[in-house]
């Protein structure tokens, strides 16, 4: 068993669907666990808690990082992961989510799914008897922001009260930042074009939580003042790619450039969940700059998810 700190924790929920499904203490302890498991993997210590376990990975959308990090992570911890795309399992079309959930639960120890409709992952979780992990929906991307939090902790040495400025679409990434802000104190600003705000209810819940300062801005240059972290994502998410042409017009002025980075704190870092469309939401120069930590973020997807899976499986 790994040490997970002295915090006396309440029981963790069966599934990991939203960051704010977890308490502050649960989030902090899983971050510590990720660092411990990362160190073990780096040292190639024999550690196979998922021996004889299987993970079903269901993908309705494309993926590089999520697929590879879950499959590699689960394999390194001794288990076997199955990749299932919509030609195999088409949740909600070929079969209802409640049937997929119960069938996969009969073969597998855990399910990870990347779906379009958020409602479908909620149904999967409700009907599955094994833990279900959200690998991105149209609404949120909790594993990404947990990994980003780990990356910030490693690179900036702290989490509390950092100013994190997201430039671009008020999308699934923003919703997960807003969920995090209900548990850890941050100053989060979403600088988006007028008609691309985050979900109103999600924003209001974060704003009224009394934990963090959260704001919406439409002025990127003003928003990044005093920022510790400048974060962006594609202007058109999966499922919205057909809108890219019009979005390019609407998002003019919302690109992260060296000039925008120069308006943040002198030691600010740049983050992007990837894949990036260089020349649109971010310039090539910014991605390649010494202040860019995008590949450390990508690596931490695996370490963070390993910790999340260990926690849900009750292995720690
Ligand atoms: N960041 C992320 O989730 O990447 P993929 O879409 O490649 O999985
Ligand atoms: N907002 C992006 C994130 C990709 C990891 C999308 O949903 O396509």
How confident is residue 262, by pLDDT bands cut at 50, 70 and 90?
Answer: very high
* Mean pLDDT, residues 36-44 taken together: 98
10 C-alpha to ligand 2 centroid (Å): 32
State whether the Cα torsion 263-161-170-25 is positive or negative. Answer: positive
Q: How far is the CA of 9 from the centre of ligand 1 (A)?
A: 31
- The answer to whether 286 touches 257, Cβ cutoff 8 Å, is yes
**Distance from residue 4's CA to the centre of ligand 2 (Å):** 31
Distances (CA, A) of 7 to 10, 13, 14, 305, 314: 10, 17, 20, 21, 16
Residues 3-38: pLDDT tens digits? Answer: 433 334 568 899 999 999 999 999 999 999 999 999
Q: Which of 143, 168, 173 to mutate to test the pocket of ligand 2 (most atoms within 8 A of CB)?
A: 173
Atom 4 (ligand 1) nearest CA: 65
Same domain, 282 and 178: yes
Round the average pLDDT of the chain to a whole number and report it.
Answer: 96
Query: What letter would DSSP give residue 205?
Result: H
If asked whether residues 214 and 84 sit together in one domain, one would say no
CA 63–ligand 2 middle distance (angstroms): 9
- pLDDT confidence of residue 10: 65
Is the CB of 274 inside a 6 Å radius of any atom of ligand 1?
Answer: yes
> Would 10 be classed as within a structural domain?
no
Is residue 76 located within the same domain as residue 117? Answer: yes
Residue pLDDT, tens place only, 112-171: 999 999 999 999 999 999 999 999 999 999 999 999 999 999 999 999 889 999 999 999
Are residue 160 and residue 262 in the same domain, yes or no? yes
pLDDT at 255 over 50: yes
Domain range for 77 is 19-141+300-312
- Same domain as 307, residue 261: no
Residues labelled catalytic: 273
**Distance, CA of 211 to chain centre:** 20
Indicate whether 127 and 220 sit together in one domain: no
Q: Against a cut of 0.85, is the pTM above it?
A: yes
Whether the Cβ atoms of residue 31 and residue 153 lie closer than 8 Å to each other: yes
pLDDT band at 201, cuts 50/70/90? very high
Q: Which residues line ligand 2 (CB under 6 A)?
A: 136, 171-173, 233-234, 237-238, 273
Give the domain CATH number at 45: 3.40.50.1370
What is the C-alpha separation between 180 and 312, in angstroms, rounded? 18
Domain count, the chain: 2
173 three-state secondary structure: helix
């Amino acid at each position: 068993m790994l040490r997970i700190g002295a915090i006396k924790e309440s029981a963790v929920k069966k599934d990991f669907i939203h960051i704010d499904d977890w308490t502050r203490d649960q989030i902090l302890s899983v971050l510590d666990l990720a660092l411990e498991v990362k160190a073990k993997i780096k040292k190639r210590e024999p550690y196979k808690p998922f021996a004889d376990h299987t993970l079903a990975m269901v993908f309705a959308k494309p993926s590089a990082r999520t697929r590879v990090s879950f499959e590699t992570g689960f394999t390194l911890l001794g288990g076997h992961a199955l990749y299932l795309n919509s030609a195999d399992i088409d949740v909600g079309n070929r079969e209802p989510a409640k049937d997929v959930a119960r069938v996969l639960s009969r073969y597998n120890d855990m399910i990870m799914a990347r779906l379009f409709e958020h409602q479908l992952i909620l149904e999967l979780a409700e009907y599955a008897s094994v833990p279900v992990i959200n690998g991105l929906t149209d609404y949120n991307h909790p594993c990404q922001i947990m990994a980003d939090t780990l990356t910030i902790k490693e690179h900036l040495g702290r989490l509390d009260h950092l100013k994190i400025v997201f430039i671009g679409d008020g999308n699934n990434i923003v919703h997960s930042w807003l969920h995090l802000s209900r548990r850890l104190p941050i100053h989060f600003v979403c600088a988006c074009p007028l008609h691309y705000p985050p979900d109103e209810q999600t924003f209001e819940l974060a704003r009224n939580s009394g934990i963090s300062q959260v704001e919406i801005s439409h002025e990127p240059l003003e928003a990044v003042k005093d920022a510790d972290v400048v974060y962006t994502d594609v202007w058109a998410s999966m499922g919205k790619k057909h809108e890219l042409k019009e979005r390019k017009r609407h998002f003019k002025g919302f690109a992260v450039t060296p000039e925008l980075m120069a308006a943040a704190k002198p030691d600010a870092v740049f983050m992007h969940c990837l894949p990036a469309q260089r020349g649109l939401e971010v310039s090539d120069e910014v991605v390649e700059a010494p202040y860019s930590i995008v590949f450390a973020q990508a690596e931490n997807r695996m370490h963070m998810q390993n910790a999340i899976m260990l926690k849900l499986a009750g292995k720690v």
